[in-house]
A and B are shown apart, each in its own frame.
Chain A
């Protein structure tokens, strides 16, 4: 079952400085479907537009970002939402936290630095349904936190008193109080060490498995996707260039960019020189013509320089946008 359908969305940052206006085309023609009960991973290099994509999906677009065109439709079972038209009031009342929770890049943003964790919980829950019985509510919170394997004393602490990993797990705990249909986590573990990262991701996976909801996990760390995601979408310069089941993406990638990403990963035990991608990351204020990857693609053909490749379905769940694949040459 489909939870969200996104169709050909363009979202640009429009800025004006010294009479020169420019637009950064951070999301530029993305179509994407999120299913119920899956972990969907979004990967891609820094500044390719991952966080911007999330802003569109989560309804947190604000100037200078603007959605120029496209559709984003959610089906939450008992009601449907057009994410590009929903009123702020409706969003606050019915969608945020209840249906969609968003753990932002840099987890501190959800946690209020001057309030104890328990107060932040109260703030979130209070805006939605009020808290008639404080004592019972506290007990509920303790249970929620303990069920997720966190020590209940975290509730009595301030965010700065927690380690990075604990803070991130608390942020995820907060995001799941209302059992939302969609949990969005933007780089939830990039600042953490591998052991804590493993613990945080286990927690996220357990929550997903238990409530059978959807997790949209954004990270540039492909090894995380390899271990956590059910499907992976690879973004390059504001567009999705390949999407497929995790196994397929890692074992049989078809886009030259995906292939490069996977082959350039260092692994312990291997000291052979790994090359980073040549050329500079694209400037999204003035993206390359044709296939956006062509200036850095070792296999680029003439056609790639002028013509934007269409998305091709390789199988029901595997799609790729590359002229080589279309011509049957890769």
Chain B
């Protein structure tokens, strides 16, 4: 494998949905011109974060080949996903790119025992020839997430707690020995301690088995802790992306700044700042329908240009950003996140 060979190449991907509402002109661009790549010789954890309804799951569906992009293309190990037609090709692809879904209760049918899924996955992807072996494979996978077959055996999904069932779905994804795990909110239902166990497991998979992970999350603290890079999405657009230390450590986009300061601190001493009133977005569709920057309706630094023109992608201070405050890479005075008083009379 040559250096810099791409494991995954996301090239100007756009997904539009036709919707009934005319607020957005009958169209909703859920993924708006998204580009990034993961490299084969450099397994990494790439996080995608951002408000609900910002297109993260839609993008994940494209990467899983469950949804064709309206424009742009996705290549995995050199193969354009739109050329995967035969069942064999699809199965091969599916073994290498495994999903972990947002809502585990939707992954598992309420009428089937959870172990059935694990056994089935092991057989389907050729990890085991018979049920006995498959059960062993399942048990190993469950141990990696802090469970055992003995504990879940004979149980239906509703007989497990939210956290238990989510760990089962991570275990299921590990069974085919994938190269890329696409985890959509994998830890939203589990407690901090297990959350750390699961994200540490992602780190271990990256470091020891060279598995890359796309980690879609609302939990910016764990995203900071495990990721190499992060992309912040707002209404289909990646507004800021780059190394996590830059993007979350020192956010420049006003939206990333809001996100970062909204993370509640695990200390009872900073309640006041977090309790400060915030504006929530009006309806999602309205923001999607905006012509210029999608954040213009809420941004404390909004300028006229933001309302009509789409901010171009620029490299600023070790990250890629879309915001007119940083046009030409220069940071104008108005960029200061705390700005009070009137500049003219000051």
Contacts and interface: CB of A to CB of B under 8 A. Distances in A.
Contacts of A260: 193
B218 A193 contact: yes
A165 B52 contact: yes
Contact of B191 (A165, A205, A220, A268): A220
B194 A281 contact: yes
B105 to A, nearest CB: 8
Contact of B278 (A164, A198, A249): A198
A194 B222 CA distance: 13
Question: How big is chain B's contact interface, by range?
Answer: 35 or more
A198 B264 contact: yes
Contacts of A220: 163, 190-192
Given A260-B193, A269-B249, A280-B146, A45 B263 contact: no
A315 interface: no
Interface residues of A, number: 59
B268 A198 contact: no
Interface stretch (B37-45, B58-66, B153-161, B171-179): B153-161
Contacts of B189: 46, 187, 190-191
A283 B225 CA distance: 29
Contacts of A113: none
A276 B105 CA distance: 25
A229 to B, nearest CB: 9
A275 B199 CA distance: 11
Interface stretch (B115-123, B280-288, B313-321): B280-288
A46 B224 contact: no
Contacts of A264: 192-193, 196
Given A46-B161, A191-B188, A266 B264 contact: no
Name the 8 nearest CB pairs between A and B, nearest first.
Answer: A46-B163, A47-B161, A220-B191, A276-B197, A223-B264, A276-B196, A45-B191, A193-B218
14 contacts: A15-B159, A45-B193, A46-B161, A46-B163, A163-B284, A193-B259, A195-B259, A195-B262, A202-B275, A227-B270, A227-B275, A250-B268, A264-B193, A265-B221
Interface of A: 13, 15, 17-18, 44-47, 51, 105-106, 151, 163-166, 187, 190-199, 202, 205, 220-224, 226-227, 246-247, 249-251, 260-262, 264-271, 274-277, 280-281, 283
